[in-house]
């Protein structure tokens, strides 16, 4: 028989491992309900222009799973990465009306978000330049994508969508889609080690945009004041050459948030409307997104994500975890894919070559009180695991006051 002390230890351990966060649990009368903030790379994209719209107009099992997860977790504010953008917002309308607002198998009650924000991104937008140095501009397939401002096969692929229970102050939203990479302090044109010369020509480097999608500051009017959702989806630090241009770009996309949070005048840091400068020092915020950088594993510049996590304005709190991540990481370890990071902190399963990594982040600012957090990655044997495989990433959530 287990001793009472062991029962108590197990209870305390498992209190941080719950797979389904409870939104209906009673809170003490003396404290307000927490704000639940989440990020989720949904993989709701298509290689064809209009492809996501066509999928959502049908009966998408993929979209049903994504909606079911959101219905289970029920965040107050959530960023969806890899959600294709279209100018008519048709895909967003379809996903919200036909999937989120309809009870899904394995999900929960219908989920309605009165407010949202979406805007154009750099992915798939032709640059008119030879960005991959293959001697051609544009072309077909991957060649066309490589010469877009951000890799994509059509404009809007891998876009972003912010959904909120609370009003979004659209007049104060700031976007940095057009910000040039060379303006970032410390930015250096990647060097090709085979030639010792900069990878990008002077013409390209002078025009190249920093953000592979976009960086948005979305102010949300919560009951306890304005919270700035700082959302992005930096390029994966792979799919390049010995010059490691994507790894360098990923690192600098993360460093943009560092600059945005730091004090002092920044005449170079101008948004797409021409307003310059960073975030006010007394502003409350949360950094959200698939940031494509693990603190210790993978090919990214790890110092960039570690410095962001440890920024003086970012709240220190226990890293979100899950049983599913631990189980999946253990299975890979048995096959020889061993990671340095804690296996239960992973947020995605990236196949037999990469294994599991922590790429998705919810980083609230100081000034919040941490309540709880988690990754929706249920145990393999649980019923909820049937809805958790809609994407190779898993939803990350944090509750704060």
Q: Are 135 and 211 in a shared domain?
A: no
Q: Are 337 and 279 in a shared domain?
A: yes
Which stretches within 188-316 are classed as H helix?
A: 202-207, 245-261, 302-309
Q: Do 253 and 212 touch, CB atoms closer than 8 A?
A: yes
Share of the chain above pLDDT 90, in %: 90
Last residue of a domain, one of 155, 177, 197: 155
- Within-domain flag for 13: no
Separation between Cα atoms, residue 20 and residue 199, nearest integer Å: 47
Q: At how many degrees (to 10) do helices 245-261 and 302-309 cross?
A: 20
pLDDT > 50? residue 12: no
φ, ψ at 358 (rounded to 5°): -100, 105
Single out the residue of 214, 291, 247 nearest to residue 39, CA to CA. 291
List of long-range contacts for 93-100, beta carbons under 8 Å, 24+ apart: 94/53, 94/56, 94/57, 95/44, 95/56, 95/63, 95/67, 96/163, 98/56, 99/56, 99/60, 99/63, 99/64, 99/66, 99/67, 100/67, 100/70, 100/71
- Within-domain flag for 20: no
- Within-domain flag for 23: no
Q: Are 161 and 230 in a shared domain?
A: yes
Q: Which pLDDT band, with edges at 50, 70 and 90, does 221 fall under?
A: very high
Q: Are 114 and 133 in a shared domain?
A: no
- Within-domain flag for 278: yes
Nearest 5°: the CA angle 326, 312, 294 is 30
Q: Which pLDDT band, with edges at 50, 70 and 90, does 209 fall under?
A: very high
- Within-domain flag for 267: yes
Average pLDDT value over all residues in the chain: 93
Tens digit of pLDDT for each residue in 302-339?
Answer: 999 999 999 999 999 999 999 999 999 999 999 999 99
Q: Whats the size of the chain, residue-wise? A: 401
Predicted structure pTM score: 0.93
What average pLDDT does the segment 32-49 reach? 96
Q: Are 211 and 132 in a shared domain?
A: no
Q: Give me the pLDDT at residue 16, please.
A: 39
Tens digit of pLDDT for each residue in 331-381?
Answer: 999 999 999 999 999 999 999 989 999 999 999 999 999 999 999 999 999
What average pLDDT does the segment 173-193 reach? 97
Separation between Cα atoms, residue 278 and residue 14, nearest integer Å: 41
Q: Are 143 and 192 in a shared domain?
A: no
How many domains would you assign to the chain? Answer: 2
Per-residue DSSP letter, 90: H
- Within-domain flag for 171: yes
Q: Are 138 and 49 in a shared domain?
A: no
Q: What residues contact residue 66 under an 8 Å CB cut-off, 6+ apart?
A: 40, 42, 43, 44, 99, 390, 391
Q: Do 34 and 399 touch, CB atoms closer than 8 A?
A: yes
Q: Are 334 and 284 in a shared domain?
A: yes
Q: Give me the pLDDT at residue 23, please.
A: 61
Q: Are 136 and 282 in a shared domain?
A: no
Q: Give me the pLDDT at residue 14, please.
A: 40
pLDDT > 60? residue 385: yes
Q: Do 393 and 43 touch, CB atoms closer than 8 A?
A: yes
Q: Are 43 and 114 in a shared domain?
A: yes
Q: Are 196 and 215 in a shared domain?
A: yes
- Within-domain flag for 10: no
Chain Cα centroid distance, residue 138 = 28
Quote the domain boundaries for residue 287: 32-121+156-400
- Within-domain flag for 229: yes
pLDDT > 50? residue 138: yes
Last residue of a domain, one of 138, 155, 172: 155
Tens digit of pLDDT for each residue in 78-102?
Answer: 999 999 999 999 999 999 999 999 9
pLDDT > 60? residue 3: no
Q: Are 365 and 394 in a shared domain?
A: yes
Last residue of a domain, one of 110, 140, 155: 155
φ, ψ at 381 (rounded to 5°): -85, -5
Q: Which pLDDT band, with edges at 50, 70 and 90, does 15 fall under?
A: very low
CATH number of the domain where residue 215 is located: 3.60.10.10
């Amino acid at each position: 028989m287990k001793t009472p002390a062991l029962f108590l230890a197990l209870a305390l351990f498992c209190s941080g491992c719950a797979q389904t966060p409870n939104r209906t649990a009673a809170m003490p009368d003396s404290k307000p309900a927490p704000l639940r903030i989440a990020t989720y790379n949904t993989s709701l994209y298509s290689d064809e222009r209009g492809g996501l719209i066509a999928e959502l107009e049908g009966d998408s099992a993929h979209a049903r799973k994504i909606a079911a997860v959101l219905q289970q977790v029920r965040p107050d504010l959530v960023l969806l990465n890899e959600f294709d953008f279209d100018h008519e917002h048709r895909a967003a309308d379809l996903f919200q009306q036909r999937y989120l607002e309809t009870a899904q198998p394995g999900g929960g009650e219908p989920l309605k978000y009165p407010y949202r924000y979406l805007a154009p991104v750099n992915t798939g937008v032709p640059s008119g330049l030879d960005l991959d140095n293959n001697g051609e501009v544009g072309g077909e397939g991957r060649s066309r994508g490589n010469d877009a401002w951000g890799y994509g096969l059509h404009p809007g692929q891998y876009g972003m969508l912010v959904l909120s229970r609370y009003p979004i102050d659209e007049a104060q939203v700031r976007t940095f889609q057009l910000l040039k990479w060379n303006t970032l302090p410390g930015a250096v044109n990647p060097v090709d080690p085979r030639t010792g010369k900069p990878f990008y020509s002077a013409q390209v480097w002078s025009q190249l945009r920093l953000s592979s999608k976009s960086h948005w500051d979305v102010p949300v009017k919560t009951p306890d004041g304005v919270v700035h959702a700082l959302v992005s989806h930096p390029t994966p630090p792979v799919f390049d050459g010995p010059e490691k241009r994507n790894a360098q770009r990923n690192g600098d996309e993360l460093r943009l948030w560092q600059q945005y949070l730091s004090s002092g005048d920044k005449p170079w840091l101008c948004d797409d409307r021409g307003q310059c400068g960073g975030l006010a020092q007394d502003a409350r915020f949360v950094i959200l997104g698939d940031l494509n950088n693990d603190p210790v594993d993978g090919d990214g510049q790890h110092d960039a994500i570690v410095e962001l996590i440890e920024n003086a304005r970012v709240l220190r709190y226990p890293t979100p975890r899950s049983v599913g991540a631990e189980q999946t990481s253990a299975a890979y370890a048995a096959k020889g894919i061993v990671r340095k990071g804690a296996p239960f902190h992973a947020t995605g399963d990236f196949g037999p070559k990469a294994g599991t990594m922590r790429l998705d982040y919810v980083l609230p600012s100081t000034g919040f009180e941490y309540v709880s957090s988690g990754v929706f990655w249920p145990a393999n044997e649980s019923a909820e695991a049937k809805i958790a495989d809609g994407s190779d990433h898993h939803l990350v959530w944090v509750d704060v006051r």
